[in-house]
Amino acid sequence: KAGVTQTPRYLIKTRGQQVTLSCSPISGHRSVSWYQQTPGQGLQFLFEYFSETQRNKGNFPGRFSGRQFSNSRSEMNVSTLELGDSALYLCASSFGKQGNDQYFGPGTRLLVL
């Protein structure tokens, strides 16, 4: 069974631009969660999508948004990029029931100049 895939793997953007990241979950998984990893803040939860609905949200500004499609693929969008948005963005998929294991993709490394 194929693992979680994320595209693109690397991105360089400038301040003020917007960016869209994509995540394809493991086949059969209906939940996709997004996490931001930075040296200063560590790993932080952004949001979770389940059956095309945002089910849970972390403490991030409204510039961070996402959506999920009927095939469970998810996209994350960051508008008006700031230098501090430079990070590794990880997505994880699971079946979506409480306690299910979350499996991570390889991440998208975003650099904002």
Partner 1 sequence: AQTVTQSQPEMSVQEAETVTLSCTYDTSESDYYLFWYKQPPSRQMILVIRQEAYKQQNATENRFSVNFQKAAKSFSLKISDSQLGDAAMYFCAYLSGANNLFFGTGTRLTVIP
48: exposed, middle or buried (C-beta count within 10 Å: 0-12, 13-18, 19+)? buried
CB of 74 to partner 1, least distance (A): 14
Kindly identify the residues of this chain, within the stretch 66-105, that bind partner 1 according to CB under 8 A. Answer: 88, 90, 92, 94, 96, 98-105
User: Which residue lies nearer to partner 1 by CB, 15 or 55?
Assistant: 55
* 20 closest CA partner among 29, 31, 32, 11: 11
Size of the site for partner 1 (CB under 8 A): 26
Backbone angles phi, psi at 83, to 5 degrees: -55, -35
Tokens 């069974």, located at residue: 1
Written as one letter, the residue type at 86 is S
**8-state DSSP, 14:** -
Site string for partner 1, 21-60 (x = CB under 8 A): ----------x-x-x------xx-x--x------xx-x--
* 35 closest CA partner among 113, 107, 97: 107
User: Which residue lies nearer to partner 1 by CB, 25 or 107?
Assistant: 107
User: Which residue lies nearer to partner 1 by CB, 87 or 112?
Assistant: 87
List of residues contacting partner 1 (CB under 8 A): 31, 33, 35, 42-43, 45, 48, 55-56, 58, 88, 90, 92, 94, 96, 98-107, 109
